[in-house]
Amino acid sequence: MPFIAELLIAIMLVISGVFGFVGSYGLIKLKDPMQRLHAPTKATTLGIGGVLIASMMYFVVKTGQISVHELVITLFLFLTAPITANFIAKAFMARNLKAGDLPKSGTDYGWSVYSDPPGQERSDS
């Protein structure tokens, strides 16, 4: 394997390691659960992305074939990471916050965690 390829792959692995570490570190360093949500959802996308790019480069140089599994992993990550973050955020809001703690939505209806959608308002609440 040529030196340049080894160097590039090594750099990508180091970058991904650093970002993976920062993401995990942020998880324990930040204080508020909503702040903590930022660390893993973002700092780890580049962490995992780096490993995947390194893996693609390795297989291109080693076997001469393009491996697309890495792209599929990236796609799955982009589909699942925001949904996970959204669910954690909603669970946190439902358990720990009141509607009054948040800024107003600026429409006739409140945030969906606390209010019912138009036409489905409960009479007992």
Partner 1 sequence: MMRRLIPHPLLSVTLVLFWLALVNTLTLGHVILGIVFGIGIPMITAPYWPDRPKISNPLKIAEYTLVVLWDIVVANIQVATIILFRRNEDIRTHWIPVPLDLTSAEAITVLAGTITMTPGTVSATLAADGSCILVHCLDTDDPDAVRDEIKSRYEQRLKEIFQ
Residues that bind partner 1 (CB under 8 A): 18-19, 22, 25-26, 29-32, 34-35, 37-39, 41-43, 45-46, 67-69, 71-72, 78-79, 81-83, 85-86, 89-90, 93, 102-113, 115-118
CB 99 within 8 A of CB 111: yes
Cβ closest to partner 1, residue 6 vs residue 99: 99
Cβ closest to partner 1, residue 22 vs residue 61: 22
| Residue 75 φ then ψ, to 5° | -60, -45
Other C-beta atoms closer than 10 Å to the C-beta of 28 total 8
Residue 40 DSSP label = I
Cβ closest to partner 1, residue 10 vs residue 78: 78
Cβ closest to partner 1, residue 3 vs residue 83: 83
Structure tokens at 86: 């959204």
CB 8 to partner 1: min, Å: 16
CB 52 to partner 1: min, Å: 13
CB 49 to partner 1: min, Å: 8
Residue 101 DSSP label = G
Q: At what angle do helices 44-63 and 3-29 cross, to 10 degrees?
A: 160
Report which residue type is found at 66. Answer: I
